């Protein structure tokens, strides 16, 4: 089973409380989601491998650490996932960005990909799949299915708020992936919203309703 971690750094928790407030406007919401995403990227990248390299400081030659291993790609699930991308890129600026969009056919209830555009070396990369809300887990499961179908094997799913139902469903469907969230909330309501949650993350990020 992959990791499940609630990232409880005080700055993350504080900023998450701020964005839960229904009175926070679009500009502040977007900026704070960016900040939380940067802080989460710092925590999520904690296990990145390092290698020794020889360098020459102005004083002596020495052997020090640098990042090695797989390069990163950030994959937002459209549309709300877009809100987390810039904050992660602030910390990992060389990461590539793939996009994945899905809808569920209203009659067949079957998932359909309507947009998938990924770096060509997706199979070589460490993927950070991002979506602020892990509610039922449906879109995360479908997105990860779509990525694995294209060769992805190293996946971390990063969200701001998760419902227990979504975590369970995602872990059952994809036991190999790591899941990181800033909060494990109480439940889902009958409309599929996370409780207490923060409302519709896409609408709050983009000012739509
Ligand atoms: N998607 C959202 O944006 N919010 C929720 O609470 C659940 C799903």
Number of domains into which the chain is organized: 1
Which CATH number goes with the domain that contains 165? 3.40.50.2020
Residue nearest to atom 3 of ligand 1 (CA): 200
Residue nearest to atom 4 of ligand 1 (CA): 200
CA distances from 166 to 15, 75, 77, 180 (A): 22, 19, 15, 12
Ligand 1 binding site (Cβ under 6 Å of any ligand atom):
80, 133, 135, 192-194, 197, 200-202
CA 61 to chain centre: 39
Does residue 145 sit within a domain?
yes
Does residue 27 sit within a domain?
yes
pLDDT band of 45, cuts 50, 70, 90: very high
Does residue 196 sit within a domain?
yes
Does residue 182 sit within a domain?
yes
Does residue 33 sit within a domain?
yes
Distance 97 CA to ligand 1 centre (A): 23
Tens digit of pLDDT for each residue in 69-128? 999 999 999 999 999 999 999 999 999 999 999 877 777 766 789 999 999 999 999 999
For the chain, what percent of residues have pLDDT higher than 70? 99
- Report the predicted TM-score, pTM, of the whole model to 2 decimal places: 0.96
Does residue 167 sit within a domain?
yes
DSSP character string of 128-192: EEE-SEESSSHHHHHHHHHHHHTT--EEEEEEEEE-HHHHHHHHHH-TTSEEEEEEE-SEE-TTS
Per the structure, the complete domain to which residue 173 belongs is given by: 4-49+67-206
């Amino acid at each position: 089973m992959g990791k499940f971690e609630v990232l409880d750094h005080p700055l993350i928790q504080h900023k998450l409380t701020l964005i839960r407030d229904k009175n926070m406007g679009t500009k502040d919401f977007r900026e704070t989601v960016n900040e939380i995403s940067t802080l989460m990227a710092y925590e999520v990248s904690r296990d990145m491998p390092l290698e020794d390299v020889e360098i020459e400081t102005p004083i002596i030659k020495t052997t020090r650490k640098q990042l090695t291993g797989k390069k990163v790609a950030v994959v937002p699930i459209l549309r709300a996932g877009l809100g987390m991308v810039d904050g992660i890129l602030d910390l990992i600026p060389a990461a590539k960005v793939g996009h994945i969009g899905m809808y569920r056919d209203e009659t067949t209830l079957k998932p359909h990909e309507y947009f998938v555009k990924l770096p060509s070396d997706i199979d070589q990369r460490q993927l950070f799949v991002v979506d602020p809300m892990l509610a039922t887990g449906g879109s995360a499961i479908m997105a990860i299915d779509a990525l694995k179908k294209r060769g992805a094997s190293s996946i971390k799913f990063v969200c701001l708020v998760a419902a227990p139902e979504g975590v369970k469903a995602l872990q059952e469907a994809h036991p190999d992936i790591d899941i990181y969230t800033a909060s494990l909330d109480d439940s889902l309501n009958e409309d599929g919203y996370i409780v207490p949650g923060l409302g519709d993350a896409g609408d709050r990020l983009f000012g739509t309703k």
